[in-house]
Structure 1
Amino acid sequence: MDMALDGAIRIFRERGFHATSLGELGAAMNLTAGSIYKAFADKRAVFLAALERYMEIRQASLQRSINAAGSGRDKVLAVLHFYAESAHGVEGERGCLVVGSATDLATFDSEVAGRITAALQRTEKLLADLIRSGHKDGSIPSTVEVASTARLLLSVTQGFRIVGKAGRTRAQMMAAADQAMRLLH
Structure 2
Amino acid sequence: MEQGAGTGAATGRAQRGRPRAYDLDQVLRASVQVFCERGLHGTSIMDLAGATGLTTGSLYKAFADKDAMYRASLEWQSSQREAELRERMDTGTTGLDKLRAVLEFIADLSSGLAGHEGCLVVETTVGIGAREAGIGEVATRVLERRRAMLVELIELGRADGSVRTDVDSGAVAATLLCLTQGMRVVGKTGPAPEAMASVVSVALTLLT
Q: Could you state the TM-score of these two structures normalised by the residue count of structure 2? A: 0.86
Indicate the structure whose relative CO is greater, using CA pairs within 8 Å and at least 6 residues apart: 1
Deviation at 1:167, TM superposition (A): 2.3
> Matches of residues 61-76 of structure 1 in structure 2 within 5 Å?
61-76=84-99
Instruction: Give the SS at the match of 1:184.
Output: coil
Deviation at 1:127, TM superposition (A): 0.5
Distance 1:88 1:172 in 2: 8
Q: Which residue of 1 aligns with 2:185?
A: 162
Q: Which residue of 2 aligns with 1:146?
A: 169
Distance 1:49 1:144 in 2: 37
* Greater than 2 Å deviation, 4+ residue runs: none
Aligned residues: 185
Q: Which residue of 1 aligns with 2:69?
A: 46
Distance 1:73 1:32 in 2: 48
> Matches of residues 12-31 of structure 1 in structure 2 within 5 Å?
12-31=35-54
Q: Which residue of 2 aligns with 1:116?
A: 139
State yes or no: 1:57 paired with 2:70: no
Task: Determine which structure has more spread, i.e. the larger CA radius of gyration.
Answer: 2
Distance 1:16 1:48 in 2: 12
Q: Is the 8 A contact 2:71 2:138 kept in 1?
A: no
Instruction: Give the SS at the match of 2:129.
Output: coil
Instruction: Give the SS at the match of 2:206.
Output: helix
Q: Which residue of 2 aligns with 1:177?
A: 200
> Matches of residues 98-137 of structure 1 in structure 2 within 5 Å?
98-137=121-160
Distance 1:91 1:27 in 2: 22
Q: Could you state the TM-score of these two structures normalised by the residue count of structure 1? A: 0.97
Question: Larger % of helix: which?
Answer: 1
> Matches of residues 74-113 of structure 1 in structure 2 within 5 Å?
74-113=97-136
Contiguous gaps of at least 5 residues in structure 2: 1-23
Distance 1:174 1:155 in 2: 17
Distance 2:150 2:78 in 1: 17
Deviates more, 1:33-42 or 1:75-84: 33-42
Please list the CA deviations of residues 12-39 of structure 1 after superposition, one character each: whole Å capped at 9, or x if unmatched.
1111111112221111111111111121
Q: Which residue of 1 aligns with 2:27?
A: 4
